[in-house]
Amino acid sequence: MALVLNEEQSMLKDAAAGFLAEKATVAHLRELRDSGDATGFSQDVWKEMADMGWAGIAIDEEFGGLGYGYTGLGLVLEQVGRNLSASPLQSSVLIGATIIAELGDQAQKEQFLPAIASGQSIVTLAIQEGAHHAPSQIATTAVAGGNGYVLNGSKRLVLDAHVADTFVVIARTSGEPGDTDGLSAFLVDAKADGVAIEQRSMVDNLNCGALTLNNVSVDASALLGSEGGAASGLNRTLDIANIGLASELLGVSTEAFERTVAYLKERKQFGQVIGSFQGLQHRAAELFAELELARSIVLKALQAIDSGDESLPVLASAAKAKLCEVAQRATNEGVQMHGGIGMTDEHEIGFFIKRARAAQHTFGDYNYHLDRFASLNGF
Amino acid sequence: MSDLDQFRQETRAWLEANCPEAMRQPVTGFEDIYNGGRVPEIDHPDQKVWCDRMAEKGWTVPHWPKEYGGGGLSADEVKVLRQEMSRIGARQALDSFGISMLGPALLQFGTQEQKLEHLPPICRGEIRWCQGYSEPNAGSDLASLATRAEDKGDHYLINGQKVWTSYADKADWIFCLVRTDNTGTKHEGISFVLFDMDQPGVEARPIKLISGSSPFCETFFDNARADKANLIGEEGKGWTIAKYLLTHEREMISGMGGAPKKSLGETAVELIGADEQGRLSNGILRQNLAQYQLDTVAFGATMARVGDEVKSGQGLGPASSIFKYYGTELNKRRNELNLAVGGEEALGWEGDAYQGGQVVRDWLRSKGNSIEGGTTEVQLNIVSKRVLGLPDA
């Protein structure tokens, strides 16, 4: 497949850029933060996004989506990264809908996907338990009982936990923490007895929370996929999630870089603009090169999702690792090259370094994915 | 049957009938590449046979117009020809600076007479060319070159010295940057001339590098003569042609090295060992290898993306400006890792035990990649100024 955008994709990208730059900017994120907004994003803007079809962008038309594929969703997420737009696009559209599409049966897809695609329902994945992403270490249990299963355990870094109506909980139906087998996925209603949700506040001011499951009973029909058989659909979902986050990080990095280059052309010291100093020019030029590599690997990985490429796992880890590295460098250089003003809360560059680190960490950081990339490559 | 299918069928039949068996063997060294010339270096007699047969069809340079000795093939036909050649493992019949560098410049800037005189012998492999650009005091700052060309009516008299002239000792003609005027800025007054190397007053001496022998030469001109008919473009406007050609050269150097057959990481596992999960036992080396491989994948995707953007009509985007810089730095990283993975074996300089010291010589030679054809620092200046629009100090 050619590594270029087609006309439909270019139009989508432009539309997303225009809409988000007006309706969901860094200034809006600051307002949400400073007002202590309970939802954490604008419901009105989310409704508009859903009305444009973005909530169903990668969902099949059969289930009420647009069927544009993940390349389309990735382009929107890149613009989300540029504007630091707060919305449930990542939690519910990129990840929640994907795991249901990957593991669900026809009835489950019919029940959940159209609701997600219309923006009415928010479904989010509850997987992480410790401070680090480590799927094989899951200790949350699901034991047969009642009409189905009884779940016990705790989860954290659950995106949009406090506004989700359904969680996809990854729990162990057999084996011990450390085993890669024995994982199952369950649909859990946010209002079910025994579910406790704690809203938490991370550095990026986007929504995430912790979940405690205390003897939560679910029906047998809540099982997504087969018992103990979540691994392959879950792994594909995580690959897609990481590529989506890499798209967002591409937007974060590119925007931070462009703002920094603009600042280099405007800030004067020693009687000249600081962008005329070779010490800064070469650092900017090297970063430009890294961003071009980042853009290429993200597009290649997005296309690999849509084409069913067998090398998806290695491309997903490549894209996420590369974007973690580039986002870290772009945002660090962003603050450094802005100098003192870059350290102030008043300036917006700080919002980019904050979101970058949270997105980098989510579902595996640079270290996790570079390690996985090496293993998948046979060393 | 479409015209292209017809062309494929005919091409396949012709190649089967005309490509000698010896020219279907894999290229294993520089001696397997045929460069042509008045006195060609011939490793196997079929090299010349194959070149002559291909030149007859115009297929040594299939995309050039027929009137200049090319094949006049469309882009699709060239692709078919390449596919059919690789199907039977046919070698490229002729490779030379005439094809890769001078030819494109002549097609762009030459007069009809100049094209008719110089292009057909390039296509037939009769004349081998070298490039006279760098001088001892004009490296990164190429435009400060000082080789003088004195106007003698119908010809120029040339005095000065060039350096890093690849294959000057084997070339028949040179395309050369000379100074015809000293009065303006340094970019003005540079002219692009062609002249025969087989004349008194031209001397080429090979240069030995830190990696051993090399194709590079120092080339001296002592009252050498260039006919004015062989001035390309206007007098004093040679810098435009030089820049055009440098772009070509940078694309060639960035593509050097290429991907190794087996991944370095897998080689490292064989030589150094792995833990129970198959992870290379030295975690620090493993990280360095993974970072290198990650960047190789991302750089490969970038080359592919830029190629696809050009094909789709978007033109050559700013990403292409990083190729020379990034490709050569990546190649240097690979060569450093080759040493780290190979250990003592990789440090051998000569003898059978060390396969003639190829690993260490490649490593040393790679240091030149980020110097020749525009240093990494010059490339970063270009990105800063032309792509990012950052101002001069």
Q: What is the residue whose two structure tokens read 């198959």?
A: B278
Same structural domain for residues B134 and B232?
A: yes
Put simply, the answer to whether B381 touches A377 (Cβ < 8 Å) is no
DSSP-derived letter for residue B134 is -
pLDDT of residue B255: 52
Q: Mean pLDDT over residues A26-44, rounded?
A: 95
| Beta-bridge partner residues of A229 | A183
Is residue B109, in this structure, part of any structural domain at all? no
Which long-range contacts does B236-239 make (Cβ < 8 Å, 24+ apart)?
B236/B180, B236/B181, B236/B184, B236/B188, B236/B189, B236/B190, B236/B191, B237/B191, B238/B177, B238/B178, B238/B190, B238/B191, B238/B192, B238/B193, B239/B143, B239/B187, B239/B188, B239/B190
Say yes or no for a CB contact (<8 Å) between A379 and B269.
Answer: yes
Whether the Cβ atoms of residue A220 and residue A142 lie closer than 8 Å to each other: no
Chain A residues in contact with B383 by the CB 8 A cut-off are: 285, 288-289
List chain B pLDDT tens, one digit each, 393 residues: 789 999 999 999 999 999 999 999 988 888 899 999 999 999 999 999 999 999 999 999 999 999 999 999 998 999 999 999 999 999 999 999 999 999 999 999 999 999 999 999 999 999 999 999 999 999 888 999 999 999 999 999 999 999 999 999 999 999 999 999 999 899 999 999 999 999 999 999 999 999 888 899 999 999 999 999 999 999 999 999 998 888 777 766 665 544 445 789 999 999 999 999 999 999 999 999 999 999 999 999 999 999 898 888 887 777 777 999 999 999 999 999 999 999 998 999 988 888 888 899 999 999 999 998 889 999 999 999 999 999 998
Nearest CA in chain A to B313: A4
User: Using an 8 Å Cβ cutoff, are A158 and A214 in contact?
Assistant: no
Do B80 and B136 lie in one domain? The reply is: no
Q: Domain check: are B74 and B178 in the same one?
A: no
Same domain, B205 and B266: no
* Residue B348 within a domain: yes
| Residue B277: closest C-alpha in chain A | A375
Task: Tokens for B20, please give them.
Answer: 């000698």
Instruction: Summarize pLDDT for A285-341 with one digit per residue, the tens.
Output: 999 999 999 999 999 999 999 999 999 999 999 999 999 999 999 999 999 999 999
What residue in A sits closest to B306 (Cα-Cα)?
A3
Mean pLDDT calculated for residue range A259-267:
98
Domain final position from B207, B236, B265: B236
Chain B interface includes A84 (CB < 8 A): no
Q: What whole-number distance in Å separates Cα of residue A131 and Cα of residue A355?
A: 18
Contact B322 A377 (CB under 8 A): no
Report DSSP state, residue B263: -
Q: What is the pLDDT of residue B261?
A: 59
The DSSP secondary-structure symbol of B341 reads H
Strand B173-179 vs strand B129-132: parallel, antiparallel, or unpaired? parallel
What is d(CA A103, CA A90) in angstroms, rounded to the nearest whole number?
18
Based on the domain organization, do B279 and B360 belong to the same domain? Answer: yes
Q: What CATH number is given to the structural domain containing B62?
A: 1.10.540
What confidence score (pLDDT) does residue A104 get? 97
Q: Of B209, B236, B263, which closes a domain?
A: B236
Catalytic, out of B249, B270, B350, B372: B249
We report the CATH number of the domain holding residue B274 as: 1.20.140.10
Round to the nearest angstrom and report the end-to-end CA distance of chain A.
Answer: 28
B79 with B140, same domain?
no
Within 8 A of B301 by CB-CB distance, chain A residues are 3, 293, 296-297, 299-300
Return the percentage of chain A with pLDDT > 90, whole number: 96
Crossing angle of helices B323-342 and B283-311, rounded to 10°: 150
Q: pLDDT value at position B352?
A: 83
Domain of residue B214, CATH code:
2.40.110.10
Judge if B377 and B261 occupy the same domain.
yes
Q: What is the number of structural domains in chain B?
A: 3
Is B101 a domain residue? Answer: no
User: What's the ipTM?
Assistant: 0.92
- Kindly state whether residue B122 falls inside one of the protein's structural domains: no
For residue B213, is it within any domain?
Answer: yes
Contact list, B389 vs chain A (CB under 8 Å): 261, 265
pLDDT value for B315: 78
Per DSSP, the three-state class of B254 is helix
Please indicate, yes or no, if residue B304 is contained in any of the structural domains. yes
Is position B359 within any domain? yes
Could you give the domains of chain A?
A: 7-121 (1.10.540.10), 124-224 (2.40.110.10), 231-376 (1.20.140.10)
Pair B190, B278 in one domain: no
Last residue of a domain, one of B69, B95, B121: B95
A and B: number of Cβ contacts within 8 A: 140
Do residues B371 and B290 both lie within one domain?
yes
What pLDDT sits at residue A129?
97
Tell me whether A230 touches chain B (CB under 8 Å): no
Q: Taking phi first (over 0 means left), then psi (-120 to 50 degrees means alpha), and beta for anything else, what does residue B52 get?
A: alpha
Do A48 and A218 contact (CB within 8 A), yes or no? no
For residue B45, what are the domain limits? 3-95
The tens digit of pLDDT for each residue in A57-91 reads 999 999 999 999 999 999 999 999 999 999 999 99
B188 in a structural domain: yes
Active site residue B270: no
B102 close to B118: Cβ distance less than 8 angstroms? yes
Q: What is the pLDDT of residue B257?
A: 47
A154: nearest Cα among A213, A232, A110, A222: A213
Q: Residue A265 pLDDT more than 50? A: yes
pLDDT reported for residue B29: 80
Output the 3-class SS for chain A.
CCCCCCHHHHHHHHHHHHHHHHHCCHHHHHHHHHCCCCCCCCHHHHHHHHHCCHHHCCCCHHHCCCCCHHHHHHHHHHHHHHHCCCCCHHHHHHHHHHHHHHHCCHHHHHHHHHHHHCCCCCEEEECCCCCCCCHHHCCCEEEEECCEEEEEEEEEEEECHHHCCEEEEEEECCCCCCCCCCEEEEEEECCCCCEEEEEEECCCCCEEEEEEEEEEEEEHHHEECCCCECHHHHHHHHHHHHHHHHHHHHHHHHHHHHHHHHHHCCCEECCEEHHHCHHHHHHHHHHHHHHHHHHHHHHHHHHHHHHCCCCHHHHHHHHHHHHHHHHHHHHHHHHHHHHHHHHCCCCCHHHHHHHHHHHHHCCCCHHHHHHHHHHHCCC
